[in-house]
Structure 1
Amino acid sequence: MNTKLIQASLSAQVVNFQPGGAAAGFEVLVDNYSDRFATFQLEVLAPGAHETGNPSWYRLSPEVAAKKPPGDRTRFVVEILDSPVPGFSGSMNLTVRIFSLELGEERKVLRLVLGKGADVPIRVDLPVQRFEAHPLEQVNIPVSLENQGQDLALLIVTLTGIPPDWIESGPEQRLQLKASASTELTFRCQLPETIRTLSQVYSFTVQVIQAQGPSSQATGLLQVVPQGTVEFTCLQTQQQYPQRWGIWWWRAPVLTPFPLQLRNDSNVISTVRINIETESRHRCIFQVLPDDAPLKPGEVTPIDLGVRVRRYWWRGQSVLLQVQSQVADARINVLNDTLLLKLKVLPRIHPAVQLLWLALILYGLWWASWLNPASPLFGHRGAVNAVQLSGTSDQAVSASDDQTVIQWWVPGFFNPFLKQYIGPILQDRKAVRVVRLRPIDNNWLAAGLENGEIKLQSLEVARKPLTFAYQVDDRVLDLRFTRDARTLFSAHGSGRVLQWQIPYVPEAGPISVSSQPLQQKRFDFAVYGLAIVGDQTLAIGGRFNQLTLWNWEKDEVQPVAYPRPGGQDAYLTSLTSAEFRPYLLVTADNQGYITLWNLRPCLMGDQPCEVLDEWQDGHGKKPVRSVALSPEGCYLSSGGADGRVVLWPLSADGRRASRFMQGIELMQVAKPFNSVDVRVAHQDVLVVGGNEDWQVRVVRSSRLPAALCDVTDR
């Protein structure tokens, strides 16, 4: 009884095949002797055949048979298409393997007789077929060769498609390769400098030529990566039209040239287009030649830009042009891709003639007005460093770099028929950095000078000012009277804080002034701001964002942890406190922060000082140069380097009122404000500001009881 589950038979035991000729074939019959359905597959094995060398040396039909029921037969047809072992002639045994996932396998052997065929080509392979490289890099292109024939091969291997001068040993190599042997060789390519290495994909071919046999080849790609820059410049960024004054003023304007150029230091060929933008109020006509300029590696491309602008009779104009180079190939990095060009257009009438006419008109207006020379010229002639309102809010004082302290009449700022300028009350030979009014009666003022001196000047009696001086050239940065007006604190650039005794001033007779302070304290930072807090404590702030409390009666120093410790360029620029809310402190710094503090926990107990509120957007993150609290502590004013003065209504707990978190802008000018002060007068809030533009300004705003702090019937 037959126990095999698979029974196979071959239609021939010997098969003759001539390589290069017609296909030879045989049939395989497979019988299913099992009791279940089964699928059958077939493969032909040849000794010495390379498993990947010639995967299609035979063809099988069908490749996989459908499931067959018990007792059914499957017919396979095998066609021999090529020699299993290239170049072999003679006879070899072929093993026919029939296998089934369900039933196992069966093997049959037949003999294949091979005649002598044509010469076998050399097998060429590129292990890496795509390369990427930058200029000046070295690229190694490996080539694998295999002689599949039975004879010694004399080979010429040639690399084409890559510039020959890049290949170090030349584009051709010669070698011998034994039968059935393999080897590997390398072409070393050295890429030249950027402008000589064009960025593109180079398709190269490795061709192998035999002395006695067919040739073969393999292809690959070398991509040169874009590298380098294009520099955009203008030889003359500022032009004037006309170049010189002439008498032919009625002539129409002509084009003013701006010579542009682009230097291509990259390895990319591209084009460039010039885009020009200017302010809409200027009606300009532009001419660009050429429109799309070519950019070749290593070359300088000139572009002529011509601009024509309307010329006015009375006034000149400056036209700013934003010229942008737009390179078509976005892979190129353009240096200075946008240039700012300036065209100054002169008026048709010479400015000197215009100024002469204007001077004559102004002289006539001045001569006919109440501003006749009988009134002195008023105002500062230098940057205003400090301002303060009097207790009655009808007067103000200001200190300036022009070495004067001036007294002002506040109602004159709101009534054009009243004179606002009262006159200078102190003149010295050094710039005045700070000024403070005596808190009782406001009948004296203290002025701190650039050279370290402190001047005490009476506002009621014409007297020579009293002078305090401890160290020459130790400039005074801030002053504060104690609330009883008996002593005065001064802050200095050296880090000293000095306490001075205010002398008794008789109506007549000499005044005794001590040259030594009552006491002093030295800190390791420049002190920029002082404020009286609590009963006998001085808040001190300055460089490195240092904030310290000094009880001058007990001579105790208590550092305060500032939220942002700073470096040598970080400063607390201003400190202020409220007369009737002595534990409320406000600090400002040059990083743009304004901070509200409750000092009661750290002055009355052992708790750290409390930060009530803090913000940086009040002046656009620019330095806040001055802050001031109204005496009742309901209004805070701030002046900053952004040229703005902002009023901040406060709530009863010392924070910004919720309805005014962005503040109320009172002033906006071009230059920074150095000092501000604020007071409540009747139904108005008055704010005075001193600016870098030499001006003292006073504005008023309505009181805001909605701030939950101020009460209008106070």
Structure 2
Amino acid sequence: MMNHVIDAKLTTQSLTFRPGNPVTFGVVAINRSEQFAAFELEILAAAGDRESWYRLSPEVSAAKPPGDRTEFQVEILASPIAYFVGDINLTVKVSSPQLATERRLVLRLTVEPGEKAPLLSVTLPRQRLQVYPRNTIDIPVEVENLGLRSTEVVLDLKDIDITWTVGTAERRLQLEAGQQAEISFQCRPPGASQAASQDYPFTVVARNREGATVSTAGILEVLPVGFVQFEVQPSQQRLPAKSSQLRHWLSNIAIFQLQFKNASNLLQKVAIELRGKDCQSCQFQVDPENADLPLATETSVKLSVKVKRPWIGRVKRLQIEAKAWLSNQILGSTDPTTQVLTLKVFPIVPTWLLLILLALLSALLAVILQPSISHLATVNVVRFSGTSGRFPLVLSGADDCTIRSWTTAPSWLFAKPETLRPQGELAEDFLNTVCSSRKPESKGLLAVLGQAVRALELIPVNNNQVFAGLENGEIQAWDVNTGRKQYSLKDSKDKTGDRVLSLAFTQNSRYLYSGYGSGTVRKWQIPPRGQSGSNPQPFTPPAPFQFQVWAIALSPDEKVLISTGQFKRLLHWDLSQPGNPRPTQISLSSQFGNQGENDFFWSIAFAPKSHLLATADSDGYITLWDLQKCQMMKSNYLKYPSSQLPQTKCEISDRWQASPADVRSIRFTPDGRRLVSAGDDGQIVAWAIAENKKHDPTQKQIVASLSRRIASIDLVANQQRTLIASGGEDFQVRLHLLK
């Protein structure tokens, strides 16, 4: 079934109406798109001849975010057709100006006679009729004279394309009092290219000379016929192409054009599945991923095949099977179902060029081995730009008041992928405000902020803006691509320079949460570009429970915010009511040791798509909490005065000592099967996380051992590998490979 960005449903599929007694039904419209959208509603009645026969509430909805719903109430005030008695198909059209599309639903309305009954009756023996394109079908109609004298009756077939009718769309007959008769209209849809397989509502209207008018509605279903043709021209290619010029000799991408011709009357979408043992050595991109197949139209799908060509060696012959999947399988698959693609891959360097390349190798190494660049003070935070991809960026913030940008994509194909290189360069004019006695290297410098950088987060949707939490309580937004400052977020009520220690975005990028040294958590609505924000929503616990908030985390469903830090305090904020967040404190047992001002939870992280929370503390322990198994320790939340917090006891799934020193940073891998930790011992360790099982101390991998304290790590993963970035007291930003 085709996906719709507008989802809609009716509270009832049928309704009975008697003139003088209004009836109502509901329509629910759901935004399935990825943007804000408002909805409009229109009710259409086949052969309707009245205005203002229904009323809407609301007439137009407000714009709602993705996943939200709008509820309409429709009140039917009168029959859409004057003097009509019988069944009418009402078409409920739900549309959106922003989405430029619409959704149609059908409701059956039964109109009963009022105080003055009509003198005619018209019915369809079969309300649903089926026909193939180019075939003729009879639409039988039964009509009865309910009056006490003979009359001439005129029958009209409406709402069907006039070109589909055989003969005229009007019938006349003389009926005696109480007489019943049956007549028929003939209909013949055109060919498959002009008659899509779907329901076509129609109406038969009967009227007599006394002015009585009645109608009945039916559906003509055009049945599916035909097939979808699948071809590839050419099906055999080579890399590089014979006709390629010298500048394309290093090309490693071949493009196949997959051709589809829809010779059916079904509106289809097609997706491509790639099979075969050679698929493992290739990377594929299908554009578009789900292609529309209009009727009687040829559609081209571009398949890009990227391979790793060897520098030297023999010619490889790769075979790839492309299978087409249609969105509607009622007529089967394409003809044929699959196509075999052949790609001959030649080595980059022919034998006669090998000696020349060896002679140039020393010159290339001199270009590649450039002097290393680092921060001038402790690196407090590192973040990957994006959550996947082959060559993501790494951003780092430090006590030298700078943000640096690093790339994992070297320009030379034979360089190690684990090497980080500076990305971009800041103009010399901006280097005077750095917090260091030494002048920083401009290469790889994204921004100089004038304050130590404590926290960094990238806006989730596009990753094109980085938000930096500073020592003076300000949050600055910078464009990752241009290196320009966009705007600042600073609470106008904060007169103390409350330093920002942690940041967390909602997935839709609309809101940013920030944790501060005073213990306050603030919620910001991200302003339009070029504007500054100064009116956040503060989350402030009672004075006895205020602490330095070194880490915050949103649950995957974004209904819970956890803040933690000094005194090993864990606060659970209920976000189900955004205007009134409710904090509770997660109770700690004696096994957590001291809880003084020098004891901290340094880092927290939620497992992907889970309520499992991981915490890392200053005693070197990692604890896994199941937040679905939490229980209030006192019965009534409202009994607590404003100077206290209710206590919640949450089940501990696992707890182990990961290091003899502080564990400063933890991250889950995207599949949730491993947890990576780093801290004051300089080690980066990956721990295996088994579902519903205790931690096995032997199931760990030491990824790296450094000589100085590690303050922050971040990771990114795709199907091929998982990369870990780290930063700490050695002023360096490093890249590690998790095997």
TM-score by length of structure 2 reads: 0.41
Larger radius of gyration: 1
TM-score by length of structure 1 reads: 0.43
